[in-house]
Chain A
Amino acid sequence: MGKISGNREKKAINVRSLGKSYGKLKAVDSVSFSIEEGEIFGLLGPNGAGKTTLISMLVTMRKPSSGSAEVNGFDVAGQPGAVRKSIGIVFQDPSLDEELTAIENLEMHAALYGVPGAERKGRIGGVLKLVGLEKNSKMQVKKFSGGMKRRLEIARGLVHHPRILFLDEPTLGLDPQTRAGIWEHIRELNKREGITIILTTHYMDEADSVCGKVAIIDHGRIIASGAPAQLKDELGGDIISIKCSASEKCVDGLRKLKWVKSAVRHNGFISVRVQKGEEKIPKILFLMEKNGVSVESVSLRKPSLDDVFLHYTGRTIREEEAKPLEAMRLRRKARTGRK
């Protein structure tokens, strides 16, 4: 009946040339992207890349310096109240009141978000069950383990039935088993409730398995985006990882070869991107031996999101991790630049 209302799908989030600068530092530099409803979208990047600043603007914690963004159809600058009501947030750093019990934290959240009094009890019971904390509901949060606190925070983010859930590094600092559990909850939530999820992480393999779409962000800009499989396919071929003496010289030599798509040095390894890797290994080894380079190890694999990141930035995400000082300096800069 009537006219078809158009073929554009409704966007959960729509970001247009959004930017945030602190003095000369551009923490987020004119970023544009959109997220479909019901999607799990991952923002990937090293510390200090601008992920958290970007999220902070989307959840109306910080005011954009330029550009605009809509969340659930509400403008983040013009309608912050409506945006806040329609989203749930789990911050990178813990934000629970540790003196209160789990249930008291959730009750306060429900009151702050205007959940009708009659519905509170049912909803709180529901979210506690969802994250498997129903037995610990009367425990003070300071007695919780790191994983339990995270789960409680996710539960809290859901009490007011948001249409979008923001998760900033939901698994940071947790052990692998707990991490797997958290991702399981997130996937379940998305599937069962149809909630759009936007998350940041620097665990690339986890992002790969959870996210329907990812954007890689570095120095405040999105340098690649798409489905993880698509990004890896775009890279194409295989990755040969070599550990050898004189890696600098080797990289230069490898780059000159016609069949080498790219060669990058990182953490003492060389990553070489080629087609039909299994056939190229003997060739590379032969060349290295001829040039008097001793090879310690060689491995062959399909590209991962780590390789995608390496391809676009020339660094691995772990190398970035190794430079906490730089990240700290950046953060400090951002903070003093605020005033």
Chain B
Amino acid sequence: MNREIEGIYALWKREIIRFYRSKSRVIGSLGMPFFFLAILGTGLNNVFSVPSGGNYLQFIAPGIVAMVLMFGSIFAGVIVLMDRQFGFLKETLVAPISRLSVVLGKALGGATTAVMQGAIIMGIAVLLGAEMQLGGMLLVLPFMFLVSLMFVSLGIAIASMLEDMHGFQLIVNFLLMPMFFLSGALFPLSSAPEFLRIASFLDPLTYGVNGLRFLLLGHSDIGFFACLAVISFFTAVFVSLAIFLFNRIEE
């Protein structure tokens, strides 16, 4: 048991070291959310009135943080594919620790790095003028971690099914982008047409966005505990799926 934990720790640490070393990747991945906040947020501030009060920048800030968590986590999960391409995956697959520990080490490491990215963009949002309440702060990081864990697992599950990186663009455009737009990160769901609302209820990111919005702004379309429950459910499903699919990898 002890050894499994040491293995998980070693793999977690690897993700952190890699994250720390790949500064250009991190900066690159924070570019789009930054422009969303700085340009879309400030640009639409005066044309867009939020029913619940507050300005537009403030409204989208939690949504953009959630987006960073999703992209960062999915990418961390998909590193499994790069590991396969560069051969490192084999080293972990033949190690005398269980596949469960390998998945957990990667997922925890990936989630940690995603939370770091999310925290950076949250800081930027505050600097740009989004006011956030301090009351929820204590819960924000654990909640962000849970959201990240959910998406890393999804990423690992996807990566375990793909053979190489070619399919990744497809996932970005046909899974991640729709998930982002449907999540209510950019517009309030309460004023969206019926069919969009229904679609967004199926989107796990919706609950991440609303949970964060509740913690940071004090109000959201969906209650915090409902979000927490749904996210916990999705996390359990995706973690199980990741473990199942990762287990099937031969070679």
Contact = CB atoms under 8 A, between A and B. Distances in A.
B93 A108 contact: no
Contacts of A61: 90, 93-94, 250-251
A155 B226 CA distance: 52
Contacts of B94: 59-61, 84, 89
B7 A111 contact: yes
A98 B88 CA distance: 9
B32 interface: no
Given A61-B94, A61-B251, A112-B97, A99 B21 contact: yes
Interface string B79-112: 0000000111111111111000000000000000
A146 to B, nearest CB: 13
B14 A97 contact: yes
Contacts of B251: 56, 61-62
Interface residues on B, range: 20 to 34
Interface in A122-154: 140
B95 A113 contact: yes
A97 B96 contact: no
Interface residues on A, range: 20 to 34
B17 interface: yes
A95 B82 CA distance: 11
A141 to B, nearest CB: 10
Contact of B6 (A62, A93, A97, A111): A111
B87 A113 contact: no
A99 B18 contact: yes
Nearest to A89: B94
Contact of B250 (A62, A82, A112): A62
A81 interface: yes
Interface string B1-24: 001001101110110011001100
Contacts of A60: 94
Contacts, number: 75
Interface string A96-115: 11111000100111011110
B5 to A, nearest CB: 10
A114 B93 CA distance: 15
A97 B88 contact: yes
Contacts of A62: 250-251
Nearest to A140: B21
A93 B97 CA distance: 22
B87 A84 contact: no
B87 A95 contact: yes
Given A81-B96, A84-B96, A99-B22, A109 B91 contact: yes
A181 interface: no
25 contacts: A61-B90, A61-B94, A61-B250, A61-B251, A82-B96, A89-B94, A94-B87, A95-B87, A95-B88, A96-B91, A100-B17, A108-B10, A108-B11, A108-B14, A109-B91, A109-B95, A111-B7, A111-B9, A112-B10, A112-B11, A112-B91, A112-B92, A112-B95, A113-B95, A338-B250
Interface of A: 56, 59-62, 81-82, 84-85, 89, 91, 93-100, 104, 107-109, 111-114, 140, 156, 338
Given A98-B86, A112-B7, 7 more contacts: A62-B250, A95-B90, A99-B18, A104-B14, A109-B91, A112-B92, A112-B96
Q: Closest 10 interchain pairs by CB?
A: A111-B10, A112-B95, A95-B87, A84-B96, A114-B3, A85-B96, A95-B90, A95-B91, A93-B87, A108-B10
Interface of B: 3, 6-7, 9-11, 13-14, 17-18, 21-22, 86-97, 250-251
